[in-house]
Chains A and B, each alone.
Chain A
């Protein structure tokens, strides 16, 4: 009799009969074993500025070798990468790029980090883990850009190899996660707390979607959760929504709403808060939480001015948390 397997990578715990595929589209039961279809088979390979992830407190103005496979364990209505995340690997054009070649290419292109990104690297867990182990041996940083929908056991096994992560904190209610992403909030909150405890540098992104999660009370609740559970030094990026995928009927997020969110975050005590997808906004810049001076001036993903020296504000010497050099993780 054919064996049934249960995937334990994420909260969905897909139970798969022989030949059946998990919700993420890339893990299936073949010959009584759970198998991944995307090991060494990325469909997206780019070199991005690290600020694009967005990671504003990690190796500024450096390139990150970025990879992703098809599939995702969430189904967000607003997904900007839906052409690969909501596809099976048979539907995408894939490269043949085993872990050793990822590292080789990253070094060849003078990247200081490898980013596991675009779709969600949780679903290409094995590929990410093996690549990250090799990358660490070659003194490359490992960056995980994720929705954080992962069980604790695989997360704890991964953390020693991940230097920094940008985690989407899409909303602060279970209802939002269920309706917008067909997922649950609590595993994401747990993921953030665990990563912080394990010493991973975490930055958060909240995509502000008009009429869905743009109310002042929701933003304030989100900010308070961040301060109370992760601390005021975790950077929070508010990102502008653009009509995509299943939400083409909505307008882009008004800049005023993003400015409101940015100001609420500062009122609630978050030291480093940013506005994304709005070039030229003051929220592109980093300010010292002590003397309020401008530390890093950015326009889009470009750095115009950097007043952080040896990880400190050059004016008042306040330590600015982040990974400013390869050899330190602060």
Chain B
């Protein structure tokens, strides 16, 4: 087998692995359970609010959801 043919096979192999990886991740993201959500760092949020000099106060017209 010529050297150039070897390199082409290696290149195709690497490309195939990358494409398979992308397909795998995309499939996982569709099949992931609905409970998987973006996590909010609440302590970080509170810290940023304090640093901005803001003072949260309870608002009106809201309700707690079951």
| Residue ranges of A at the interface with B (Cβ–Cβ < 8 Å) | 3-9, 15, 17-20, 27-28, 30, 32-41, 89-90, 94, 96, 125-126, 129, 151, 153-154
Contact = CB atoms under 8 A, between A and B. Distances in A.
B61 to A, nearest CB: 5
B29 interface: no
User: 5 tightest CB-CB pairs across the interface, nearest first?
Assistant: A34-B62, A19-B40, A35-B56, A19-B42, A90-B52
B55 A6 contact: no
Contacts, number: 84
Given A20-B40, A30-B46, A39 B63 contact: no
B48 interface: yes
User: Interface extent on B, as a size class?
Assistant: 20 to 34
A37 B56 contact: yes
A3 B49 CA distance: 20
B2 to A, nearest CB: 57
Given A17-B40, A126-B59, 14 more contacts: A7-B62, A8-B61, A18-B40, A18-B42, A19-B41, A28-B56, A34-B62, A35-B56, A36-B59, A38-B54, A89-B54, A90-B54, A129-B60, A151-B61
A223 to B, nearest CB: 33
Instruction: Please indicate which of the listed interface residues B42, B48, B54, B64 has the most CB atoms of chain A within 10 Å of its own CB.
Output: B54
B56 A154 contact: no
Contacts of A129: 60
Given A17-B40, A20-B40, A90 B48 contact: yes
A153 B61 CA distance: 8
